[in-house]
Chain A
Amino acid sequence: MEFLSQGGYAGFVWGSYGMALVLLVGEVVGLRRQRRTILARLGRLLRLRGSGGDQ
């Protein structure tokens, strides 16, 4: 508990580390989602052409 209170400056310390966690994890989650979106979109495009969508 002494660790969590950080000498009474918990709000400042954990506010900083919390934002770091949110931003870095958020960036990675966003990048993974972005990759799935790109693969899905290009895959749809491919299937559309494969089934004669461009005739």
Chain B
Amino acid sequence: MPNPWFKYASPAAFYPLAGRLIPMFWVLAAGLILLGLYWGFFQTPDQLGGTNPQKEYYRIIFIHVPAAWMSMWLYVVMVGWAAIGLVFNTRLSFMMANAVAPTGAVFTFLALWTGAFWGRPSWGTYWDWDPRLTSELILFFLYIGYIALHSAIDDTRRADRAAALLAIVGLVMVPVIFWSINCPDPNQCAALHQRSGLGKIEGNILFSMLIMTLGFWMYSFATTLMRLRGVILNRESEATWVREVVRTEGRLELQP
């Protein structure tokens, strides 16, 4: 029985499928992000927390937490595709890993940037070498390192393998970021991020945060597939079907 998953493992079959999926992910991303922003700004209280509340600046949470979650999740996705590529030697898997990395780096930078803007009013500092901040910064350098290593090696197959190994070794940072809050007594260690139970967050705030996360996720699908289509065209440029695509889509999209 022909398995549809294997059918779409071929770049020639996946390229048009990705083209049909991209507009769908854009609609989902735009709708979810607009809903999340509306709910986050207009349906939530002006303060977060009880005895020592955070004022309006807490609304950075709707960007900060979803971006931080996506930075870790996209790294796991990237390593997953890189590992599949190493084990099964499938071209498309390595291309997937390539396509995820820049979007992951964008969200990692966004998490660090918004964290600084939240840290200043709440902790009194833009930056501190706190375990979570430091490990997130290392994750950013891992994304950059993956991209740089891949582009530094001319032979694409060697570049794929070397960059995949770097990504897999770097996976250790994801659980480190996740558990870097594990400080039982705030007076005993310097962790600025404390253990936060999602159940304790006010319902509307939690709702907006989760909707924004879904929106960012759909955005990541859209940008990753867009980038993947470019990678496929570049790498398969000798194939007959790519020439056909360049002819037809080039005529449509390159009108002056």
A interface with B by C-beta (< 8 Å):
3, 6-9, 12-13, 15-17, 19-20, 23-24, 27-28, 31-32, 34-36, 38-40, 42-43, 45-46
Question: Count the A-B residue pairs with Cβ separation under 8 angstroms: how many?
Answer: 90
B14 CB → nearest A CB, Å: 16
B4 CB → nearest A CB, Å: 26
User: In the complex, A13→B114 CA distance in Å?
Assistant: 9
Say yes or no for B243: interface residue by CB 8 A criterion.
yes
**What's the dominant secondary structure at chain A's contact region?**
helix
Contacts of A24 in B (CB 8 A): 106, 219
User: In the complex, A3→B37 CA distance in Å?
Assistant: 13
The 3 closest A-B CB pairs, nearest first, are A7-B56, A9-B57, A16-B114
B114 CB → nearest A CB, Å: 4
Say yes or no for B179: interface residue by CB 8 A criterion.
no
15 A-B pairs within 8 Å (CB atoms) are namely A7-B56, A9-B57, A12-B60, A12-B118, A13-B59, A19-B110, A20-B67, A23-B109, A27-B103, A31-B223, A39-B233, A42-B233, A42-B242, A45-B237, A46-B247
Contacts of B56 in A (CB 8 A): 6-9, 13
Q: A28-B226, A35-B230 are in contact. List 6 more A-B contacts (CB 8 A).
A: A7-B46, A8-B56, A23-B110, A27-B102, A42-B242, A43-B250
